[in-house]
Structures are given as structure tokens and as C-alpha cells.
């Protein structure tokens, strides 16, 4: 029932529309045009006003022909840079860009898959309950669309985000993440004439960082410093250094422990300098820690999992529950009480100009969605 040619055309059309973060307006309009024949209601919320995007999150509500609980399907509309002027190419069943931009399969493959599944449902009058489609903005820059989504517009209590690569898995566990931002304030001075009068903020920051364990802390926890910045000149002792990083963990206690250890490392270096040099006011720290998202942990017997696994089995596939180190809109939905598993579309080498996706994998995910919807329409949510 899946129209592969139409699916390919839909994907090509979507990736050809510029939609880097905060510029999702045009693709939102195209999605609305494509889904208008099937939609009961289409709503654009006010999230864009808070975030600075030229549109909000798009919620599309579809009526069902079965009286069952609604199902949510989610994808994000934004892509990373370089993502302007994408020119898709299809060769031997594989989509790529022309090599100068990303392709945008993350996450426009998901959008194309959802649209094709809805078309097949309605064209063939297949059994289905109410469906709520949630297309978010600004996912790639901190899940901002989901964080600012008007959840009063969503009635579904479970669903699926299409935002990973593996088409044979469902992600049931994702970590929580803390982001930290630290400003080290020193004192400027002439680096050649009066270095003794300065307090080198870069040196202090490097002392603190040298004592940290970065990368994989344990099987559940990671830590990374992604930004170190200081501005000035080589003949000036730098008076400020900016450090930004993150901690992720599937264990809340470990998340807080590692975060505290990072903060303590900077505080210890700061205090030790003051003690040794008799300083009172400088060096000084400004430290900001924010929880970016909470973890997800879906029980193996939850309908989100049993539905996906049963659907896969019906199609001769083994859909395996997995743990990931990444975050997605699913983390935000889960925290709001919408139990959301993450399923794959086949996208490869995302966030690079080598990004690609096989049309065959997209078809597989359309079929998986259709079978999930079919099983749910019969109330068969248990394995």
C-alpha cells in the first residue's frame, strides 16, 4: 500500500525547503498543505514567539474511525547547518545531498514517513483511532519547541517520536542532561611589562579542567566540555574565560554527583589562588547549571513497547528495546506524562554533509507505523 514514488517525492520536496532552526515557517506551511485533506484541525502554537522562530509548533489532529485513545506521532521540522539550499540526490535507492550541505533526513525523513502513513490510512479507509501529529521547532538547539509547546493542545498519553537511525529498535531509555556554564573572572595586565599584576583566567580554567574526568564516566554517565572561549591579545593577560559543557546520565544521583564535582573543581582552584596570593575580590566565578531535560525510562510491558514489538513481529522483524545516550523531544514529552518511544527512520551520518538515507528504510518505517496503528485500533496493546 505504501507508494514509494510518492514517498520519495515528498521527502525530496521537504528537504528542498530551507528550515534551519528558527526558520521553520515555510516547511510548516508545506506540511499543512500536504495534510489538509485529512486533518480535523491544524494548530500552530505560540512557541515561536518565545523562542524567536518565524513559526510555532504545528499540531495536526486527525479523527479516528475507532473509539480508542489517541496516539501521538512526533517529528521536528528544523535541521542543522549547513542546511540552506539542500539539493537532494537519489541514486541506487539512497538519498544524499550534493555534498555541500546536510541532507536533512534528520528529521525530514520522519515527516515524510508520517505523511505517507496518513495518506495510506485515509486512502484505504484503514482502521485507526484519533491521531495527533506534533511537528516541533528548534529541536536541534535544545529541544526548545517541545519545551515551549502548549501541552493543553495534546490529549494523547502515549506515542512515538521518529528521531533515530536504527529501524529495528525502539528507544525506551534516554539520559537526563545538565548543562553548565562557567565564567572565570581574572585581572588584565600587560603580558610583557606587568604580568605579575594580572590574574590569568585561562590558566585558572585550565587548572580546573585538568583535574576533571571527561568522556564516558561509567556505562550510564558522560561528561563533556564543548566550549572554551577567551578574547583579547597575546600581549594581554586574559581577564575572563568562558567554559560551557554538559553532563548526561541515566541515574539522577550520578548526574548530580558529576555536576557537583565540576563546580567544585572550579571553586577549589579559585579559592586556592586567593589563599596563596592573598587576594580577596579576584579571581571570581559566575556559575550557571541548568537541567536541559529529564531522563526517560519506559517499562517493557508498556503499550508503547508492546505495540511496536508486536507490529514488528507481524512484519517479520525484531524490534529491540534500546538505551541511548542522546536526548530528543521524547524526553520532554515523557516528563509531561506522554510516554514516548523513539523509533528509527534509517538516517545515517546525521549532522554532516555525508548524511544519507535509503528509501527502503523509510518504507519499512511507514509499514511499522501502519501496523502499530492497526494493532492499536483493535485494542491489542499487549504482547
Active site residue 98: no
> Per the structure block, which three cell numbers stand in for 101?
550541505
- Give the 3-state secondary structure of 217-257: EECCEEEEEEEEECCCCCCECCCEEEEEEEEEECCHHHHHH
Catalytic-labelled residue, pool 30, 45, 139, 166: 139
Query: Which residues 6+ apart lie within 8 Å of 102 measured at CB?
Result: 79, 80, 81, 82, 83, 86, 350, 351, 352, 353, 355
Is residue 18 part of the annotated active site? The answer reads: no
CB neighbours of residue 142 within 10 Å: 17
User: And the C-alpha cell for 38?
Assistant: 485529512
Q: Read off the DSSP letter of residue 351.
A: T
Q: Which three cell numbers stand for residue 149?
A: 509547546
Report the length, in residues, of the chain. 383
Q: Identify the CA nearest to 53 among candidates 163, 152, 148, 179.
A: 148
Active-site entry in 24, 30, 78, 106: 78
Q: What is the rounded distance in angstroms from the CA atom of residue 86 to the CA atom of residue 99?
A: 9
Could you give the CA distance from residue 296 to residue 134 in angstroms, rounded to a whole number? 19
Terminal Cα-to-Cα distance of the chain (whole angstroms): 25
Cβ–Cβ contacts within 10 Å for residue 152, how many?
Answer: 7
Are the C-beta atoms of 110 and 368 separated by less than 8 Å? Answer: no
What whole-number distance in Å separates Cα of residue 256 and Cα of residue 126?
Answer: 48
CA pair distance 325, 216, nearest whole angstrom: 10
Q: Which residues have a catalytic role annotated?
A: 78, 139
Amino acid at each position: 500500500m505504501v507508494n514509494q514514488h510518492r514517498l520519495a517525492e515528498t521527502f525530496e520536496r521537504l528537504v528542498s525547503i530551507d528550515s534551519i532552526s528558527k526558520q521553520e515557517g515555510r516547511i510548516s506551511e508545506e506540511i499543512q498543505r500536504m495534510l489538509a485533506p485529512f486533518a480535523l484541525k491544524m494548530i500552530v502554537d505560540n512557541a515561536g514567539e518565545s523562542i524567536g522562530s518565524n513559526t510555532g509548533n504545528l499540531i495536526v489532529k486527525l479523527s479516528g474511525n475507532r473509539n480508542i485513545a489517541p496516539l501521538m506521532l512526533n517529528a521536528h521540522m528544523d535541521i542543522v547547518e549547513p542546511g540552506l539550499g539542500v539539493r537532494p540526490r537519489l541514486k541506487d535507492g539512497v538519498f544524499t545531498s550534493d555534498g555541500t550541505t546536510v541532507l536533512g533526513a534528520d528529521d525530514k525523513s520522519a515527516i515524510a514517513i508520517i505523511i505517507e502513513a496518513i495518506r495510506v490510512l485515509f486512502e484505504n479507509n484503514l482502521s485507526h483511532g484519533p491521531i495527533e501529529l506534533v511537528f516541533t521547532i528548534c529541536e536541534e538547539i535544545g529541544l526548545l519547541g517541545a519545551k515551549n509547546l502548549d501541552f493543553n493542545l495534546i490529549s494523547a498519553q502515549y506515542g512515538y517520536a521518529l528521531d533515530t537511525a536504527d529501524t529495528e529498535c525502539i528507544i525506551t531509555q534516554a539520559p537526563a542532561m545538565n548543562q553548565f556554564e562557567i565564567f572565570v573572572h581574572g585581572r588584565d595586565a600587560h603580558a610583557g611589562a606587568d604580568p605579575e599584576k594580572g590574574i590569568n583566567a585561562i590558566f585558572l580554567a585550565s587548572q580546573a579542567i585538568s583535574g576533571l574526568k571527561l568522556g564516558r564516566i561509567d556505562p550510564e554517565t558522560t561528561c563533556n566540555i564543548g566550549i572554551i572561549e577567551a578574547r583579547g591579545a597575546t600581549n594581554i593577560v586574559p581577564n575572563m574565560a568562558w567554559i560551557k559543557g554538559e553532563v548526561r546520565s541515566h541515574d539522577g544521583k550520578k548526574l548530580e554527583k558529576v555536576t557537583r564535582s565540576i563546580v567544585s573543581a572550579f571553586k577549589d582552584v579559585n579559592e586556592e589562588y586567593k589563599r596563596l596570593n592573598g587576594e580577596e575580590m579576584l579571581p571570581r566565578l559566575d556559575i550557571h547549571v541548568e537541567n536541559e531535560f529529564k531522563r526517560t525510562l519506559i517499562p517493557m510491558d508498556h503499550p508503547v513497547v508492546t505495540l511496536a514489538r508486536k507490529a514488528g513481529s507481524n512484519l517479520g522483524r525484531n524490534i529491540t528495546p534500546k538505551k541511548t545516550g542522546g536526548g530528543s523531544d521524547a524526553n520532554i514529552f515523557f516528563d509531561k506524562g506522554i510516554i514516548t518511544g523513539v523509533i528509527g527512520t534509517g538516517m545515517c551520518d546525521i549532522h554532516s554533509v555525508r548524511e544519507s538515507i535509503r528509501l527502503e528504510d523509510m518504507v519499512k518505517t511507514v509499514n511499522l507505523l501502519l501496523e502499530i496503528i492497526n494493532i492499536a485500533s483493535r485494542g491489542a496493546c499487549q504482547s
